[in-house]
A = this chain, B = another copy of it.
Amino acid sequence: MPPRVPQLSQAREALTRGVRVRNEFGETQEAQIPAERPLTLYLDKQELVTLMTVGAAPELLALGYLRNQRLVHSIADIASVQVDWEVEACSITSRSGIADLTQRTAGRRVVTTGCGQGTVYASLMDEVDNAALDAETRISQGELYALLDAMRLHDSLYKSAGSVHGCALFEGSRLLMFTEDVGRHNAVDAISGWMWLHGVGGQGKVFYTTGRLTSEMVIKCALMGVSILVSRSGVTQMGYDIAERLGIALFARCTNRHFLQYTAPERFVAEPLERLSA
């Protein structure tokens, strides 16, 4: 019998809006800006949180939020995820109730760094230390470059409207899933939701983000079992510390052929640059 998966709505709205702007020559032109709309999540009619999102993948965002906040144990526990933009609400229904929901959402509030979801409950930090990361996952220099090329060429909301962060999941250099949001942590949550929905584990996967590798980004990847993170931006101290402790490889400041590897050198297979360019 196949595993039970939730029924998802397919709510879609325009992701950008054109506005009139004036440039340095006094000329009027049209510029695109990303949409930014509130989405309030209700789990079995209990209000959880209001997320500000561009709205590209609201059902996956809701699933990923539930997973990364550890509010629901298994995807099989969720019967449906219904987004209705008319009322800016996402209604999640469990199959047989969620134990202690009120108690478990009353955790301490921690405001995190430069992120779109400053609400990781303190208990998450404990779970991270139990994250099961395989020792085998590696990335070769050629795969890293192929991944960066794929991201550079990928069509994106960022190219048309800016002001969004993108996240992607790769297997080697093969793109599995790409998503963008005004909140960086919404984007990683949508990736988590996609992995959860399709039963995809973190082994052998590589996570890419346009944003910084902060503590919250590293924690969420660890919870997904992903042990290689790539960013064209930088690294913060807590992101570094957690990655080093867990043996997660951080590649940052990646542009064209340049990159810096900060942690877990054993997860990288160097290849001579001359050979790769040939």
Contact = CB atoms under 8 A, between A and B. Distances in A.
A21 interface: yes
B111 A240 contact: no
Given A112-B116, A117-B111, A183-B114, A33 B236 contact: yes
Given A51-B111, A114-B114, A273 B238 contact: no
Contacts of A24: 141, 257-259, 273
A212 interface: yes
Interface string A1-26: 00000000000000001010111111
Nearest to A260: B21
Interface stretch (A70-78, A161-169, A191-199): A161-169
Contacts of A236: 33-34, 36, 163, 182
A85 interface: no
A278 interface: no
Contacts of A17: 237
A162 B108 CA distance: 30
A33 to B, nearest CB: 5
Number of copies: 2
Interface of A: 17, 19, 21-26, 29, 31, 33-38, 49-52, 108-119, 141, 161-163, 165, 182-184, 212, 214-215, 233-240, 253, 257-262, 265, 268, 270, 273
9 contacts: A23-B258, A24-B259, A33-B234, A34-B236, A37-B238, A50-B111, A52-B238, A114-B183, A163-B212
A109 B184 CA distance: 18
Contacts of A34: 234, 236-237
Contacts of A119: 109, 111, 118
A141 to B, nearest CB: 7
Contacts of A270: 26
B114 A116 contact: yes
A146 B108 CA distance: 44
A168 to B, nearest CB: 18
A113 B33 contact: no
Nearest to A250: B21
B182 A113 contact: yes
B113 A113 contact: no
Given A23-B260, A52-B112, A260-B21, A240 B33 contact: yes
B162 A233 contact: yes
A13 to B, nearest CB: 11
